[in-house]
A and B are shown apart, each in its own frame.
Chain A
């Protein structure tokens, strides 16, 4: 069949290609592993969008999760460090210089709550 021959389909509009939402930002060309691309394309078909769009959305979600985890970790570490700094539990320096507690003393201390009542 030659170019320009009437196949009866010419009058039909070609299926509109899915387009990702227009975004502003840094344009990049990247190589996506085949298996990952197949998965992205599958999600895109189900969601009625493009694989590029799915890729950006997944990256965005992951970045948000990461930012949240980093912020939580930072606050958690600050709180823990402040507690450790303010209490003797934060350091074992100098432990050799003092006479250690006996096993009996330690057991008695750990059972303190049973003696209060």
Chain B
């Protein structure tokens, strides 16, 4: 079944990684892994944020070497341009579904422990991105590979929104 990776797995893709080997094997078999445009945006946001000096002043903000960050961004863009990963756009059907999901579950469920590196506002934005990702993957006919506890909840809401639809399957990331 075609797989789309969410940020928890997609962000691990880097040169000489087992994730890269896995993605390459799937590409060679004619079944490339996909990321949603929202997932890609999350990855680029994280990379860009890590190098901003103004944000680095904040507590718990880990500022990374900007050359290493630029190299990773460039490398990832190259893999996408080469067709190793398919990017699923957030288009009108996904927007329709994401809006309906957001109306049903406007905020993320309370987490037992909130990440120290993420503000409440950022958590809300990340939630919107999760909704967009699930909606996109759903409407493109993929399964979602995710270690995020939110996605099974969103998939359940999708089944409530479209009861006769083949459900969005959430699979745990492959073991590398």
**Residues of A in contact with B (beta carbons under 8 Å apart):** 61, 64-65, 68, 71-83, 85-87, 89, 113, 116
Query: Closest 5 A-B residue pairs measured CB to CB?
Result: A82-B165, A75-B141, A76-B141, A82-B162, A83-B162
Q: Is B174's beta carbon under 8 Å from chain A?
A: no
A-B residue pairs in contact (CB < 8 Å), sample of 19: A72-B140, A74-B141, A76-B139, A76-B140, A77-B141, A78-B165, A78-B166, A79-B141, A81-B165, A82-B163, A82-B164, A82-B165, A83-B97, A85-B162, A85-B164, A86-B161, A86-B164, A87-B161, A116-B106
Shortest CB–CB separation between residue B104 and chain A, in angstroms? 11
Interface size counted on chain B using CB atoms at 8 A: 21
Which residues on A sit within 8 Å (CB–CB) of B163? 82, 86
Q: Is B5's beta carbon under 8 Å from chain A?
A: no
A77 and B139 alpha carbons, distance in the complex (Å): 7
Chain B 130-158: CB-based contact to A (< 8 A → 1; otherwise 0): 00000000111110000000000000000
Q: Is the CB of B166 within 8 A of A83?
A: no
Residue of B with least CB distance to A79: B165
Which residues on A sit within 8 Å (CB–CB) of B168? 79
Contact of B165 among A64, A68, A83 (CB under 8 A): A83
Q: Given that A64-B30, A68-B2 are contacting pairs, would A75 and B166 also be in contact in the complex, using a CB cutoff of 8 Å?
A: yes
Q: Is the CB of B31 within 8 A of A68?
A: yes
Q: Is the CB of A89 within 8 A of B2?
A: no
Which residues on B sit within 8 Å (CB–CB) of A78? 141, 165-166
Which residues on B sit within 8 Å (CB–CB) of A85? 162, 164
Among A76, A83, A86, A113, the one with the most B-chain Cβ atoms within 10 Å of its Cβ is A83
Which residues on B sit within 8 Å (CB–CB) of A74? 141
Residue of B with least CB distance to A73: B141
Q: Is the CB of B139 within 8 A of A79?
A: yes
A89 and B161 alpha carbons, distance in the complex (Å): 12
Q: Is B93's beta carbon under 8 Å from chain A?
A: yes
A104 and B93 alpha carbons, distance in the complex (Å): 25
Which residues on A sit within 8 Å (CB–CB) of B106? 113, 116
Which residues on A sit within 8 Å (CB–CB) of B142? 72
